């Protein structure tokens, strides 16, 4: 049985991860900004067992709150085995449509939220001499994704952070992985630019996602891929297969990846003009 933290656990990938972890018998601390929803999820997962889940309200942009939460989990259970710094938001729109508020919110949640989780979990795991940190990035952290560059920038940063930390942590007994999914069928595709000015992209993320990836991946399938990758201590966990293909293509031809992105931008402009 592992003691696990999952942020952004009220829905989507976080909920699917928590469900898979509880199903294998783990104790899972699920946190989210949506206190009512995360409490319902924790209760439902515990009811099905055999593991158990409990809920916490957490804003990952609040460094002190994140540190307190991770320390509380450690204090309650005596250890912290596995952490999923998973909470994230979608920010979409062309660069000229976006304000600094869009940029700041994307960086606060998607990047600083991971930084806060790492900063809180890593010292605990160093003291223990073991543990595994898994940070949720995106395929958009491996290939250029236009019409949402604050999101893309934050996810590229999470990939770099995770791979560099993996190198540092390897000699200290701590493992680090980064999760890079393609488009997953979650509420993130219907809640773009939360609390921020909307754009055509943010109002129709799901439609544009399906143009790029006609078959959206399920959060449950991704959770299985992620746990398999964690067991194998993979540095990068990229799914589904179409995402791995896009990643390989971008590595082989960075210029080709940019040209493909330009085609997507041109199509988007035609649709919204």
d(CA 110, CA 237): 18
Domains of the chain: 3-272 (3.40.50.720)
Q: What is the pLDDT along the chain (273 residues), one digit of tens a residue?
A: 999 999 999 999 999 999 999 999 999 999 999 999 999 999 999 999 999 999 999 999 999 999 999 999 999 999 999 999 999 999 999 999 999 999 999 999 999 999 999 999 999 999 999 999 999 999 999 999 999 999 999 999 999 999 999 999 999 999 999 999 999 999 999 999 999 999 999 999 999 899 999 999 999 999 999 999 999 999 999 999 999 999 999 999 999 999 999 999 999 999 888
Q: What are the structure tokens assigned to 227, written together?
A: 């746990």
Q: Is 122 a catalytic residue?
A: no
Q: Which DSSP letter does residue 55 get? A: E
Are 137 and 162 contacting, i.e. CB atoms less than 8 angstroms apart? yes
Question: What percent of the chain is predicted at pLDDT more than 90?
Answer: 98
What was the pLDDT predicted at 96?
A: 96
d(CA 224, CA 222): 5
Helix or strand holding residue 75 (H, E): helix 63-77
3-class SS at 51?
coil
The pLDDT tens digits of the residues spanning 139-170 come to 999 999 999 999 999 999 999 999 999 999 99
Q: State the catalytic residue, choosing from 70, 122, 151, 217.
A: 151
What was the pLDDT predicted at 171?
A: 94
Burial call 4-43: b when 16+ CB within 10 Å, e when fewer: bbbbbbbbbbbbbbbbbbbeeebbbbbbbbeeeebbebbe
């Amino acid at each position: 049985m592992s003691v696990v933290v999952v942020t952004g656990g009220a829905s989507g990938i976080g909920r699917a991860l928590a469900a898979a972890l509880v199903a294998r018998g783990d104790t899972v601390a699920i946190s989210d900004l949506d206190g009512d929803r995360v409490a319902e999820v924790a209760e439902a997962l515990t009811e099905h067992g055999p593991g158990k889940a409990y809920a916490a309200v957490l804003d990952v942009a609040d460094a002190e709150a994140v540190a307190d939460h991770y320390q509380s989990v450690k204090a309650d259970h005596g250890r912290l085995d596995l952490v999923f710094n998973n909470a994230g938001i979608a920010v979409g729109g062309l660069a000229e449509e976006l304000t600094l508020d869009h940029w700041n919110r994307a960086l606060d949640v998607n990047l600083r939220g991971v930084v806060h989780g790492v900063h809180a979990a890593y010292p605990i795991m160093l003291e223990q001499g073991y543990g595994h940190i898994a940070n949720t990035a995106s395929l958009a952290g491996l290939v250029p994704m236009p019409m949402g560059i604050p999101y893309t920038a934050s996810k590229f940063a999470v990939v770099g952070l995770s791979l560099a930390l993996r190198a540092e942590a390897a000699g200290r007994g701590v493992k680090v992985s980064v999760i890079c999914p393609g488009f997953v069928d979650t509420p993130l595709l219907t809640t773009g630019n939360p609390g921020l000015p909307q754009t055509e992209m943010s109002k129709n993320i799901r439609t544009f996602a399906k143009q790029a990836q006609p078959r959206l991946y399920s959060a449950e399938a991704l959770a299985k891929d992620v746990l398999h990758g964690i067991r194998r201590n993979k540095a990068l966990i990229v799914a589904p297969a179409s995402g791995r293909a896009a990643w390989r293509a971008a590595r082989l031809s960075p210029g080709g990846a940019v040209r493909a992105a330009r085609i997507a931008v041109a199509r988007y402009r035609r649709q919204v003009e």
